[in-house]
Structure 1
């Protein structure tokens, strides 16, 4: 059985995530964004991805470093979604196989 504190934490995180998404929509729904603001909004997912994989740069785990290299190669050839899927799969498999 899941601990009540853990469940409460998950529900709160989901709520905050939903509120940030709906809040952005409510604030920006009747506005036209400038080209600069649009560029910033389009760059945000990449910035989030970098913040997730950045700790692997300083890892001494060979599986993480190899997964990072695979992710970089994928990023040069594919769009965001396939790159994320390839990176996550590579990290999971390599951590399982290499340790």
Structure 2
């Protein structure tokens, strides 16, 4: 297999840009003093990314997964993280078995 020089340079450039973007984000985030709505917006980013990653899979693979995702989301408001994960895994296994 041969590698085209242009392709290799594009991959390296993307890697460098990705690295510097992440490092810059860490450096800038440490210097920000967030309060009020800005803090609430930044606190909402991790759950939003998690939903964006999980929702397409949960809603396109079948009824068992969609129902398990709904159960897990409901439980997430009432239980700690580890308990929520356990409920999610158990609900997927049980629903796949019966559906």
TM-score, with length taken from structure 2: 0.55
| Pairwise CA distance, 1:73 | 2.5
| Pairwise CA distance, 1:54 | 2.0
Task: Give the Cα–Cα distance (whole angstroms) in 2 for the partners of residues 82 and 75 of structure 1.
Answer: 10
Q: How many residue pairs were aligned?
A: 84
Q: Which runs of 5+ in 1 are unaligned?
A: 1-11
Larger Rg: 2
Q: After superposition, give the CA deviation of every residue in 1:54-90 in whole Å (9 maximum; x if it has no partner).
A: 2223x361321231132122123124x3366236524
TM-score, with length taken from structure 1: 0.55
Decide whether aligned partners of structure 1 residues 42 and 87 sit closer, same or farther in structure 2, where only a CA change above 3 A counts: farther
Contact 2:69 2:88 in 1 (8 A): no
